[in-house]
Structure 1
Amino acid sequence: MSVPEVIPIGHEPDHRTSTIGRWRGGQFFASVTAAFPEGWSGDDWQSRKRWYAVLHRFDGAGRHLDSHIRFTGTTAGGEGKAVDAARLLLAEWLDALPERQYQDITIAPFEVRFEGALFGLVVEEDVDEGEGDGEGDGVWAEFHPDGLGFEAPWNGCYDT
């Protein structure tokens, strides 16, 4: 089974997809998340783990319109402080969406790079497809950097 043109994402209150839904201008996916710069490796992970407030907006058909991404601090600078700042900023952004309703969404894959990190819903393919049940093996969509994986049967549920 191939990846659909638009991928359903289920709204789950009090879970990782609690801040997704629709607004007058289309659909949205919002989160507080951490990211490392692409390709980074090393021992000083606390100073490289960067926290962000993220709001992706889509039209009614699920095509990406824009992304608001703001850095709020590192784990080394105080993870709680960075997360709290991101939550406050995200609440402001969400409050500004007219006619906002939290609910399931259906969006197309997209990619945005910000400060050396990948954000978006990206189609991934495992080159070693020899294992599994045969239904959609080796192909999925990953929401970066949130770490949410979507796959067949494409019902809006995710793996972390």
Structure 2
Amino acid sequence: MALITATLPIPIPKNWEEHKRWYAVLHTFTPDGRHLKTDAIFTGTESAGELIYLTRARKIRDEMVSALKDHHFCDVQIELFSVQVDGFTFGLVDASKPEDNYESVHLLPNDFAFFKPWDGSFDV
């Protein structure tokens, strides 16, 4: 799973542009969906300007994917996983609230929310 994502501290500071950190991320998994590793490379802050951090992030993400050896691209049902990068959680985490009859998992730090029937559809 390769993506570009950002982190932002909570509470959000007034000068949030200086604190919104962008990353090129590559999560790799075994064929049966177990998390192998996460590579997350910081590419800049929002204050640097979108053209700079996004251009850099796309290039790095594409290089990480191109460098993969002995891989196979396919749909895979993955297990929950979580890693810390610069003090932020990256991963697929359980966000369920049984007391509210709410069942979901969230891809962080994007905060994409996945729900049953677990078909890959998500809300942002």
TM-score by length of structure 1 reads 0.71
Unaligned runs of 5+ in 2: none
Query: 1:159 deviation in Å?
Result: 1.4
Measure the CA separation in 2 of the matches of 1:126 and 1:91. Answer: 36
Measure the CA separation in 2 of the matches of 1:81 and 1:58. Answer: 30
More helix by share: 2
| Aligned CA-pair RMSD | 1.7
Query: 1:54 deviation in Å?
Result: 0.3
Query: 1:81 deviation in Å?
Result: 0.5
TM-score by length of structure 2 reads 0.90
1:83 corresponds to which of 26, 48, 54: 54
- Residue aligned with 2:13, SS: coil
Larger RCO (CA under 8 A, 6+ residues apart): 1
Q: Which amino acid aligns with 1:84?
A: T
Q: Is the 8 A contact 2:31 2:76 kept in 1?
A: no
Matches within 5 A, 1:7-156: 29-37=1-9, 39-98=10-69, 100-126=71-97, 129=100, 137-156=101-120
Which residue number corresponds to residue 13 of structure 1?
none
Q: Which runs of at least 4 in structure 1 moved beyond 6 Å after TM superposition?
A: none
Measure the CA separation in 2 of the matches of 1:125 and 1:106. Answer: 18
Q: Which amino acid aligns with 1:92?
A: E
Percent identity between the two aligned chains: 35
Q: Which amino acid aligns with 1:33?
A: T
Unaligned runs of 5+ in 1: 1-28, 130-136
Measure the CA separation in 1 of the matches of 2:17 and 2:104. Answer: 29
Query: 1:99 deviation in Å?
Result: 5.3
Measure the CA separation in 2 of the matches of 1:103 and 1:58. Answer: 11
User: In the TM superposition, what whole-angstrom CA distance separates every residue of 1:34-78 from its partner, at most 9, and x where no partner exists?
Assistant: 1114x4432111011100000011111111111101101000011
Q: Is the 8 A contact 2:2 2:61 kept in 1?
A: yes
